[in-house]
Structure 1
């Protein structure tokens, strides 16, 4: 298990999570994988104590600090938690912390799916502390793939082995892309380091797999608790709270990002192609950032929000600039009307960020004569533009046109 520490532990029990993971040591002799600690994936509602990427699954570890140590914790996914028979009360008013954990895990799964990451099962571990001797979960909750546990090396290990159950392993190359999707800054470990953590050099192409990226896990018999030394094989109440990977360098079991290297933007992966973010913007004044007939239409109609983002990729070693615009309209009818206007030849469009001075080294000076495609989904209109970063571009260039469908699936936020 390779540990990468991206930030401080968001909970006190996170220290126990990190300590448990560090006892496994680097390499794949115990389990393998990469654990990012103190990471906040994009669009996730909270910082996570750990996200563990394993060759056969992704574990989201969410820490929950209890008011006091407990001998017995009743922790249903719905309903009031009880500590030694007393209802749980916390300063924030929460009576069931599992809801927060499930929300975070769902956000991670959605992020992987939206970024076209590897379709590995995403499961949830709720790590509770400062100490709990026995955790009781309903059988139905266990079958949903959620484990509540006090983090010990054995309980986390058992949870990881039980929850990471993909029938096909994730390759080292795919693992690097998945880590880039989940961590907002940093550089993923290289293939050599990932192979040392149990990711195969080559694996079946998982892009065609149909696994749903929602929290799930195979059925498990309910396991009630785990005392400090009694959580070996029978510790099934595990919700692997320990595997957290962060993008950093170094071969030690825990590493912090190098202060001498500026954080690198997350790589977005669509159909196996890397797109490097190069800036984003959002505004409610849609017309101000458009031109031609599109600007005239927006000036006379309500537009709720305009989001713009730009990316860089390459085709056969030649750099390509990508601009994505997302306009949110009040209803489907107006979105359909704007789609008709924006799709007409010479009708104008949305101004690319580079034209407003948001250029980047090696990027295109403009998106003039770019290949363009416009699509509509319910009340949303998306416009994609692709252009060669250097040299002349032709809107009919097959190499550019082939990128448009991928560009339309890029997020308009970064």
Structure 2
């Protein structure tokens, strides 16, 4: 899956196994060539994760859904499937056009009581309204809006601010934000959070220099992972929110030993953040304490044994564990959310050897993993699948148990690809 001996297509991004010590431009050109890029999903008007009904949480009548994208350059689509209330299984998929274009091996998406789809092929953002009684029924609101940059890869939504922000990772990097209207869709806000100072000039083609974007749970700051210019270190950018608007000047935090900061996962509060690091032969993640100022007050790197490309993680607060998925091998790594320590690892089976998962989400007691079987040219050679696991046995020291292997081609027909996962409703704080 990972090409030649000195380049590794991790999490959909071509990156080298080792980086030169000097020369940011040379390092940057080697470091990132987008092939699949990042995908981030979240849901507005969502409810916290609990294993059963809880005060303040609506009774679950089985009105849940899982979303992926096919990333078709001829016309991007969301695939929505129902989630069983009783056993977490997926069924009855439907296909909904986003109104924009995918980009070969490149996409990002997000969702709330809205679903947001980033159309990387034409640099736009789409928003859909979710019918809470039938969450696989999506209504496109307005037209796709320009993200003001190139190659958008991730989007965050704050219900408190009614603001969606798209992260551009190409040769015009930065963040564009939008107000969301239930009838008209997206209205661009009059600012652009530029991160162009980290990009080489001229830019060497469409590169991923950023990966994931999230609001913190209180919506008082916006965070993004950025491949920075520090010596073998990546960056975390934080824009404080003042009077409903992100600051023009970010707090830039260098993450020592974290070369490719990728996915962001808040752990129930503004102060705890878990960042994955899909760089071969390095620490697989970091657990951060974030001060109210946005500065990192403590950095605890997490060594994931045997990690190849630890791209995505999902937090299960009911058992206070993180599940980290490796794109380069079929292994689930379970991490204690308090200490950042690995507690166990679990092997699973994929249709193609030496491939793993490309995204993951937790919904109640169920873990969903998207697998995309590809060859060395990143061409699909088998049907993508969503693997469903019951993770409740982890509470008693046992391994997750497989519930379903959901064959996307078999149930949805042939697609050009599949990327990203989102679940409705999604916890507010992740």
TM norm. shorter chain > 0.5: no
Choose 1 or 2 for highest CA Rg.
1
* TM-score computed with the length of structure 1 as normaliser: 0.25
User: Quick check: which one's strand share is greater?
Assistant: 2
User: Quick check: which one's helix share is greater?
Assistant: 1
* TM-score computed with the length of structure 2 as normaliser: 0.25
